[in-house]
Structure 1
Amino acid sequence: MTDRAPGRWPVDQPVALDEGVHSVDTPDADELYVQRAAEKALHEMVLDSIRHDLEQQPSPLTVLTAARNWCTRITAAAEEIAREKRKAA
Protein backbone atom coordinates (compact mmCIF):
# COMPACT_ATOMS: atom_id res chain seq x y z
CA MET A 1 0.00 0.00 0.00
CA THR A 2 1.28 3.46 -0.83
CA ASP A 3 0.95 6.60 1.22
CA ARG A 4 -0.93 8.35 -1.63
CA ALA A 5 -4.69 8.06 -1.96
CA PRO A 6 -6.26 7.76 -5.45
CA GLY A 7 -6.51 11.12 -7.19
CA ARG A 8 -3.66 12.71 -5.26
CA TRP A 9 -0.51 14.23 -6.71
CA PRO A 10 2.03 13.39 -7.91
CA VAL A 11 0.76 10.62 -10.13
CA ASP A 12 3.02 7.77 -11.20
CA GLN A 13 1.76 7.57 -14.80
CA PRO A 14 0.21 10.82 -16.08
CA VAL A 15 -2.33 10.47 -18.85
CA ALA A 16 -2.28 12.71 -21.91
CA LEU A 17 -5.75 14.21 -21.98
CA ASP A 18 -5.70 15.57 -25.51
CA GLU A 19 -4.37 12.72 -27.60
CA GLY A 20 -5.94 9.46 -28.63
CA VAL A 21 -9.18 9.86 -26.71
CA HIS A 22 -11.44 10.66 -29.66
CA SER A 23 -13.56 7.76 -30.79
CA VAL A 24 -15.73 7.40 -33.86
CA ASP A 25 -18.81 8.40 -31.84
CA THR A 26 -17.27 11.55 -30.37
CA PRO A 27 -18.48 14.60 -32.33
CA ASP A 28 -15.91 17.20 -33.27
CA ALA A 29 -16.17 20.92 -32.56
CA ASP A 30 -17.89 21.70 -35.87
CA GLU A 31 -20.58 19.06 -35.32
CA LEU A 32 -21.19 20.34 -31.79
CA TYR A 33 -21.47 23.91 -33.10
CA VAL A 34 -24.02 22.90 -35.73
CA GLN A 35 -26.02 20.89 -33.19
CA ARG A 36 -26.06 23.80 -30.73
CA ALA A 37 -27.07 26.24 -33.47
CA ALA A 38 -29.95 23.97 -34.51
CA GLU A 39 -31.14 23.64 -30.90
CA LYS A 40 -30.95 27.41 -30.41
CA ALA A 41 -32.87 28.03 -33.65
CA LEU A 42 -35.62 25.63 -32.60
CA HIS A 43 -35.84 27.33 -29.21
CA GLU A 44 -36.08 30.76 -30.81
CA MET A 45 -38.76 29.60 -33.28
CA VAL A 46 -40.91 28.23 -30.45
CA LEU A 47 -40.56 31.39 -28.37
CA ASP A 48 -41.25 33.59 -31.40
CA SER A 49 -44.40 31.59 -32.14
CA ILE A 50 -45.66 32.09 -28.59
CA ARG A 51 -44.75 35.79 -28.72
CA HIS A 52 -46.62 36.15 -32.02
CA ASP A 53 -49.70 34.57 -30.49
CA LEU A 54 -49.51 36.91 -27.49
CA GLU A 55 -49.08 39.96 -29.73
CA GLN A 56 -52.28 39.02 -31.57
CA GLN A 57 -54.33 39.38 -28.39
CA PRO A 58 -56.55 42.48 -28.33
CA SER A 59 -56.08 43.62 -24.72
CA PRO A 60 -53.64 43.34 -21.82
CA LEU A 61 -56.03 41.03 -19.97
CA THR A 62 -56.28 38.62 -22.90
CA VAL A 63 -52.49 38.69 -23.29
CA LEU A 64 -52.09 37.57 -19.68
CA THR A 65 -54.85 34.97 -20.04
CA ALA A 66 -53.23 33.58 -23.19
CA ALA A 67 -49.84 33.47 -21.44
CA ARG A 68 -51.36 31.53 -18.54
CA ASN A 69 -52.95 29.14 -21.03
CA TRP A 70 -49.57 28.60 -22.73
CA CYS A 71 -47.97 27.90 -19.34
CA THR A 72 -50.69 25.42 -18.43
CA ARG A 73 -50.40 23.60 -21.75
CA ILE A 74 -46.60 23.46 -21.59
CA THR A 75 -46.68 22.15 -18.01
CA ALA A 76 -49.26 19.52 -18.94
CA ALA A 77 -47.12 18.38 -21.87
CA ALA A 78 -44.03 18.23 -19.65
CA GLU A 79 -45.85 16.14 -17.05
CA GLU A 80 -47.11 13.75 -19.73
CA ILE A 81 -43.64 13.34 -21.26
CA ALA A 82 -42.05 12.85 -17.83
CA ARG A 83 -44.66 10.21 -17.00
CA GLU A 84 -43.90 8.36 -20.26
CA LYS A 85 -40.16 8.50 -19.61
CA ARG A 86 -40.64 7.11 -16.11
CA LYS A 87 -42.59 4.17 -17.56
CA ALA A 88 -39.89 3.54 -20.14
CA ALA A 89 -37.08 3.62 -17.56
Structure 2
Amino acid sequence: MTQHRPGQWPVEQPVDLDAVDGAKATHDELYVKRAAEKALHEMCLDSIRHDLEQQPTGPSAQAKARIWCAHILALADDVAAAKRKAA
Protein backbone atom coordinates (compact mmCIF):
# COMPACT_ATOMS: atom_id res chain seq x y z
CA MET A 1 0.00 0.00 0.00
CA THR A 2 1.64 3.22 -1.15
CA GLN A 3 -1.14 5.77 -0.70
CA HIS A 4 -1.31 7.70 2.55
CA ARG A 5 -4.52 8.82 4.14
CA PRO A 6 -4.77 12.14 6.04
CA GLY A 7 -3.05 11.85 9.40
CA GLN A 8 -0.70 9.08 8.32
CA TRP A 9 3.06 9.13 8.54
CA PRO A 10 5.24 10.12 6.70
CA VAL A 11 3.77 13.44 5.68
CA GLU A 12 4.61 14.45 2.13
CA GLN A 13 4.13 18.19 2.65
CA PRO A 14 4.73 19.11 6.31
CA VAL A 15 3.12 22.24 7.70
CA ASP A 16 5.38 25.16 8.60
CA LEU A 17 4.97 25.28 12.38
CA ASP A 18 7.01 28.48 12.66
CA ALA A 19 4.42 30.50 10.76
CA VAL A 20 2.26 32.77 12.89
CA ASP A 21 -1.00 33.92 11.29
CA GLY A 22 0.41 32.97 7.90
CA ALA A 23 3.43 35.29 8.25
CA LYS A 24 6.99 34.43 9.14
CA ALA A 25 7.97 35.43 12.66
CA THR A 26 11.34 35.59 14.30
CA HIS A 27 12.32 32.99 16.86
CA ASP A 28 12.16 35.66 19.58
CA GLU A 29 8.57 36.53 18.67
CA LEU A 30 7.60 32.86 18.67
CA TYR A 31 9.31 32.34 22.03
CA VAL A 32 7.46 35.30 23.58
CA LYS A 33 4.12 34.18 22.17
CA ARG A 34 4.55 30.60 23.39
CA ALA A 35 5.78 31.77 26.80
CA ALA A 36 2.73 34.04 27.15
CA GLU A 37 0.36 31.21 26.21
CA LYS A 38 2.05 28.87 28.68
CA ALA A 39 1.91 31.50 31.45
CA LEU A 40 -1.82 32.05 30.89
CA HIS A 41 -2.41 28.30 30.95
CA GLU A 42 -0.44 27.89 34.18
CA MET A 43 -2.22 30.81 35.87
CA CYS A 44 -5.63 29.31 35.06
CA LEU A 45 -4.66 25.86 36.32
CA ASP A 46 -3.04 27.29 39.46
CA SER A 47 -6.22 29.21 40.22
CA ILE A 48 -8.27 26.03 39.97
CA ARG A 49 -5.69 24.10 42.02
CA HIS A 50 -5.84 26.77 44.74
CA ASP A 51 -9.62 26.48 44.91
CA LEU A 52 -9.43 22.68 45.08
CA GLU A 53 -6.82 22.81 47.85
CA GLN A 54 -9.23 24.92 49.92
CA GLN A 55 -11.65 21.99 50.12
CA PRO A 56 -11.63 20.21 53.49
CA THR A 57 -11.73 16.61 52.21
CA GLY A 58 -10.76 14.57 49.17
CA PRO A 59 -14.35 13.85 48.12
CA SER A 60 -15.29 17.51 48.40
CA ALA A 61 -12.27 18.41 46.23
CA GLN A 62 -13.45 15.90 43.62
CA ALA A 63 -16.98 17.28 43.77
CA LYS A 64 -15.61 20.79 43.31
CA ALA A 65 -13.54 19.58 40.34
CA ARG A 66 -16.72 18.27 38.72
CA ILE A 67 -18.30 21.70 39.23
CA TRP A 68 -15.26 23.34 37.60
CA CYS A 69 -15.55 20.92 34.66
CA ALA A 70 -19.23 21.74 34.22
CA HIS A 71 -18.52 25.47 34.26
CA ILE A 72 -15.67 25.13 31.76
CA LEU A 73 -17.83 23.06 29.41
CA ALA A 74 -20.62 25.64 29.66
CA LEU A 75 -18.15 28.38 28.77
CA ALA A 76 -16.89 26.32 25.82
CA ASP A 77 -20.45 25.86 24.57
CA ASP A 78 -21.05 29.63 24.76
CA VAL A 79 -17.83 30.42 22.90
CA ALA A 80 -18.55 27.79 20.24
CA ALA A 81 -22.05 29.13 19.71
CA ALA A 82 -20.73 32.69 19.34
CA LYS A 83 -18.10 31.54 16.84
CA ARG A 84 -20.71 29.64 14.82
CA LYS A 85 -22.87 32.79 14.75
CA ALA A 86 -19.93 34.92 13.62
CA ALA A 87 -18.96 32.51 10.82
TM-score using structure 1 length? 0.70
- The DSSP-based 3-state class of the residue aligned with 1:72 is helix
Q: Which runs of 5+ in 2 are unaligned?
A: 1-22
Q: Matches of 1:83 and 1:26 in 2, distance apart?
A: 31
Matched, 1:73 2:74: no
Equivalent residue in structure 1 for 2:51, among 50, 53, 72 = 53
Query: Which position in structure 2 is the counterpart of 1:29?
Result: 27
> Which one has a larger percent strand, Structure 1 or Structure 2?
2
Report the AA paired with residue 30 of structure 1: D
Matched, 1:88 2:86: yes
Q: Matches of 1:87 and 1:48 in 2, distance apart?
A: 32
Q: Matches of 2:40 and 2:70 in 1, distance apart?
A: 21
Report the AA paired with residue 63 of structure 1: A
- The DSSP-based 3-state class of the residue aligned with 1:84 is helix
TM-score using structure 2 length? 0.72
Report the AA paired with residue 48 of structure 1: D
Q: Displacement of 1:26 after TM fit?
A: 2.5
The number of aligned residues is: 65
Q: Which runs of 4+ in 1 moved over 6 A?
A: none
